[in-house]
Amino acid sequence: MQRDNFRCVHCGSDDKELQVHHLLYKKRDPWDYPNHLYQTLCFECHELRGELTDKAVDAVRIAIGKTPTKRLIAAVQKLCAEAMLEIEVEDAN
């Protein structure tokens, strides 16, 4: 929250209830991630972000419905590897 000047990174509010949004959860305690994987959000934007994430996941599921599993596995492995590299680079700093 301090990094984001105690403001919601989406709407800019500084007078609403602020929360920390985790961009990723994987094999760590929620507080053991590098700062770039956190966002300061007000309660309303955090709720909206959750709803939009759910809708995006559903849209991806529909879009990939006819994609061969072998291609999906390769794409997901690449995305996960890139995300984990981000964490490892930040951890090294």
Q: What is the average per-residue pLDDT within 78-92? A: 69
Quote the tokens at residue 70: 């072998």
In a domain, 6, yes or no: no
Domain extent at residue 67: 18-92
8-state DSSP, 1: -
Query: What's the rounded Cα separation, in Å, for the pair 64 and 74?
Result: 13
In a domain, 11, yes or no: no
Helix (H, G, I), strand (E, B) or coil at 42: strand
Query: What's the rounded Cα separation, in Å, for the pair 42 and 83?
Result: 25
Give the count of domains, the chain.
Answer: 1
What is the DSSP annotation of 59-88? HHHHHTTTS-HHHHHHHHHHHHHHHHHHHH
Q: What is the average per-residue pLDDT within 76-92? A: 71
pLDDT at residue 59, as a whole number: 87
Q: What is the average per-residue pLDDT within 5-24? A: 92
